[in-house]
Amino acid sequence: MSLEDEAQRELDELRERSLLRTPRVVDGRQGPTVVVDGREVVSFSSNDYLGLAGDPRLARAAAAASEVEGAGVGSSRLVVGNHREHVALEAAVADWVRCGAATMFNTGYAANVGVLGALLRAGDVVFSDALNHASIVDGCRLSRAEVVVFPHRDLAALERELVQRTDRRRRIVVSESLFSMDGDCADVAALAELCRRHDAAWILDEAHAVGVRGPEGRGFAAEAGVVPDVLIGTFGKALGSFGAFVATTPAIAALLWNRARPLVFSTGLPPAVAAASRAAIEVVRGGEGDERRRMLAARATRLRELVPDLGGIAEGPIAPRLVGSDAAVMKLSARLFEERLYVQGIRPPTVPVGTARLRISLSSAHTVEMVEQLARSLVRS
């Protein structure tokens, strides 16, 4: 059988199991309403939590940088691609997050794989929450360290595993703060204390929390007054741009430049992207950012008042509706689309088998009327 025939057979199997993924086409700017496959819909599927992806200030910053600096940097940053815009963005992140140094990566996926691969090796052990993002899972696997998966948010189980592995060269605990599919959050204060007590390093992925929570939008760790050894954040969610950052100490940042393969072997981000991200930080950490966070929390609270069976923390932007069946969730997603509401159905392997769900994402740009329209449709389902 040819490779083409085998691929088609696998596609047919996925279709029969209601697991086939086919991308839709979006026209125009991201926002609370978008045009998807030619139909204007209210979108509850984007991670644009603060409504900045379509903000003209970010677009103007990107256009101005592109006009002066060009479209690309031509190489990896370690060769001749370390542009002044990259350096300025890293300085802005370090000042915002209040860390010793910040290092940019092209994506959040690359950041997690790069950090874990750089800091772990054979003979080490990494403790990973069972519901961590796929990028963390893959980073752990590729690191060649022993991987211990502890039950979701179960710190007692984590402590038992830490106690049993005191002889490893390096022990690292890695967790998300705001979990991307369930919308719940880690007890970051307790995690910090547990790692301190057992002399374990701590990596915290705040991809879905930076911009959304904490003073100046610095995330759950800042809100709790704790500092992880490594904090990973993204520009492509609440900040409305693209790329990711690692906030840490100068020594760890320098080590990433030497050992993080996705950083060493990737062409640097376009200067325009870095300029847009820097403009986003200015918005997010100021008074306007506070107001957008307040509006986001209000929309999230209102939706849960109207639809009490949604998951996630009360004021959180991720509000999953558990359905269970893969076929049923896609049927429900299609019905909502016909009602001009776009809510993506999430199926395995993104979530565990039997837990297919609608992943509802809220934005400060949603109006109360949009939220109430969605609630009416969900209550009927």
Could you tell me if 237 and 219 are in contact, meaning their C-beta atoms sit under 8 angstroms apart?
Answer: no
**How would you write 71-106 as a 3-class SS string?**
CCCCCEHHHHHCCHHHHHHHHHHHHHHCCCEEEEEC
Q: Got the DSSP string for 314-365?
A: TT-SEEEEEEE-HHHHHHHHHHHHHTTEE--EE-TTSS-TT-EEEEEE--TT
Catalytic residue among 48, 83, 129, 133: 133
The answer to whether residue 205 is catalytic is: yes
Could you tell me if 266 and 122 are in contact, meaning their C-beta atoms sit under 8 angstroms apart?
Answer: no
Catalytic residue among 237, 361, 364, 366: 237
The answer to whether residue 48 is catalytic is: no
The answer to whether residue 208 is catalytic is: yes
Catalytic residue among 48, 55, 182, 205: 205
The answer to whether residue 198 is catalytic is: no
Identify the sign of the CA torsion 363, 365, 371, 377.
negative
Catalytic residue among 47, 333, 363, 364: 47
Stretch (H or E) spanning 378: helix 368-380
Catalytic residue among 85, 90, 129, 176: 176
The answer to whether residue 37 is catalytic is: no
The CA distance from 44 to 319, in Å, is 10
Catalytic residue among 43, 175, 180, 277: 180
The answer to whether residue 47 is catalytic is: yes
Catalytic residue among 85, 208, 277, 363: 208
Angle at CA 50, nearest 5°, toward 227 and 371?
125
> Is the omega angle on the peptide bond into residue 349 within 30 degrees of 0, that is, cis?
yes
The answer to whether residue 82 is catalytic is: no
Could you tell me if 247 and 99 are in contact, meaning their C-beta atoms sit under 8 angstroms apart?
Answer: yes
Which one, of 70, 92, 96, 95, lies nearest residue 83 by Cα?
Answer: 70
SS3 167: coil
Q: Which residue has the tokens 């999230």?
A: 300
Q: Which residues are catalytic?
A: 47, 133, 176, 180, 205, 208, 237
